[in-house]
Amino acid sequence: MKHSNGGAGTQKRARFERLKQEITRFVMANHGCSAQSIVANLSHDRSMRNHGLTPRKVGFFISRNLAEKLTWWQDHRAGRRVYGDRSKTSESGQ
């Protein structure tokens, strides 16, 4: 019996879609949040511990998969990227 590791099975797709929904929900509710706060929310509050999430992975995930809804900008006081709703940032001119 052969198993393929490269496929996009039902469970893999469902996990991907849930991650997209949870990140979008958190960022929409907390405009201007950092990747670290997103990871903390997902790992501890939403019980997504088996995903191996890190702030770096979340940053890449947002830019690759959620760029149409979410955006980032540099927080110069903290020296890091913060994420927010794309429609809110276009209104304020950031």
Give the C-alpha separation, 53 to 32, whole Å: 19
Q: Are 10 and 30 in contact (CB under 8 A)?
A: no
Give tens-digit pLDDT for 6-59: 666 888 899 899 999 999 999 999 999 999 999 999 988 877 777 788 999 999
Give tens-digit pLDDT for 51-86: 788 999 999 999 999 999 999 999 888 888 999 998
Q: What are the angstrom distances between the C-alpha of 77 and each of 70, 74, 91?
A: 21, 9, 22
